[in-house]
């Protein structure tokens, strides 16, 4: 039995089924148990004890049970949880604090940005506060067959996580992967060589993928260059993160702009700052078990 979990919040049957596809890819590849959760909002004047005794779970209960059944049918260990809370974000971040939670996968509908809100009130807060990796997938577009995956590379832990998730998706669908990084149109050969080195350093994070290409793209605008590249791929997986104030959740706003404007499926990944140490410890433990 897996010793780590992927948390999948669900509410709507259609988006739950959509997110489950990615959840299965990731959980199967990373040997994670799936925890399917629905948060039932409780009015501030009502205690959680009163809510559990008197409030109807509504359609959330059936969404959770159906998603769990589908996950198990796909060969993934899965359990369901109905959670009562005064706010969705607080309930999810408290779940993410558990030591055995490796990541949470959230669905995003691509709604227009509002002043200090980037993806949505609770998504922004989970990105900022969750003590685990966070994956955000845009779910307002149909997901067809996945033959190719694009990973825009900027460096850093968020890009590394994006490559890991892209590798998991590629293995599940026997897809090719393109790693691409953008340099200015006027970049000299030294800058181009540095960009190629960055791609070389990122490639191992994909894991075993049969077909991988590495591309240095020249352009005057990073967002436009990445958007042009997304048209040749079925899924784009890229790092998104940062810390501190809300407007720095998405580094340089590039990931957010691509996620809003790309025609293909987009998955954004934010690695928690302490994850590198945790994952290294888990890797050491697994290597040790292999020699027992």
Pairwise CA distance, residues 8 & 226, whole Å = 28
Query: Model confidence over 141-164: pLDDT tens digits?
Result: 777 899 999 999 988 889 999 999
> Is residue 120 exposed (0-12), middle (13-18) or buried (19+ Cβ within 10 Å)?
buried
pLDDT grade for 133, boundaries at 50, 70 and 90: very high
Query: Model confidence over 27-41: pLDDT tens digits?
Result: 999 999 999 998 887
pLDDT grade for 61, boundaries at 50, 70 and 90: confident
pLDDT at 101: 92
Residue 112 has pLDDT above 70, yes or no: no
Rounded to two decimals, what is the model's pTM? 0.84
Residue 268 has pLDDT above 50, yes or no: yes
Run of H or E residues at 162:
helix 157-173
Residue 241 has pLDDT above 80, yes or no: no
User: What is the distance of C-alpha 251 from the center of its chain?
Assistant: 15
Residue 245 has pLDDT above 60, yes or no: no
Domains along the chain with CATH numbers = 1-140 (3.40.50.620), 144-292 (3.40.50.620)
pLDDT at 233: 95
Lowest pLDDT segment from 29-38, 51-60, 100-109, 177-186: 51-60
């Amino acid at each position: 039995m897996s010793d780590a979990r992927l948390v999948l919040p669900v509410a709507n049957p259609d988006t739950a089924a959509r997110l489950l596809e990615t959840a299965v890819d990731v959980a199967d590849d990373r040997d994670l148990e799936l925890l399917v959760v629905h948060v039932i909002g409780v009015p501030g004047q009502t205690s959680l004890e009163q809510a559990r005794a008197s409030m109807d779970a509504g359609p959330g209960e059936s969404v959770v049970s159906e998603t769990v059944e589908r996950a198990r049918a796909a060969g993934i260990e899965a359990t369901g949880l109905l959670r009562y809370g005064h706010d969705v974000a607080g309930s999810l971040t408290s779940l993410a604090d558990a030591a055995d939670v490796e990541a949470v996968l959230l669905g995003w509908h691509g709604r227009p940005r509002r002043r200090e809100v980037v993806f949505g009130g609770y998504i922004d807060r989970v990105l900022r506060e969750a003590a685990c990796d966070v994956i955000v997938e845009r779910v307002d577009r149909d997901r067809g067959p996945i033959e190719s995956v694009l990973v825009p590379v900027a460096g850093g832990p968020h890009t590394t996580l994006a490559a890991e998730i892209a590798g998991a998706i590629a293995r599940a669908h026997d897809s090719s992967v393109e790693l691409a990084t953008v340099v200015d149109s006027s970049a000299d050969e030294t800058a181009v060589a540095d960009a190629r080195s960055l791609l070389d350093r990122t490639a191992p994070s994909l894991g075993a993928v049969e077909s991988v290409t590495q591309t240095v793209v020249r352009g005057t605008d990073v967002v436009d260059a990445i958007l042009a590249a997304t048209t040749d791929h079925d899924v784009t997986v890229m790092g998104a993160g940062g810390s501190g104030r809300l407007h720095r959740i998405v580094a340089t706003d590039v990931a957010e702009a691509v996620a809003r404007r790309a025609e293909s499926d987009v998955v954004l990944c934010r690695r928690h700052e302490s994850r590198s140490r945790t994952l290294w410890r888990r890797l050491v433990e697994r290597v040790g078990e292999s020699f027992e």
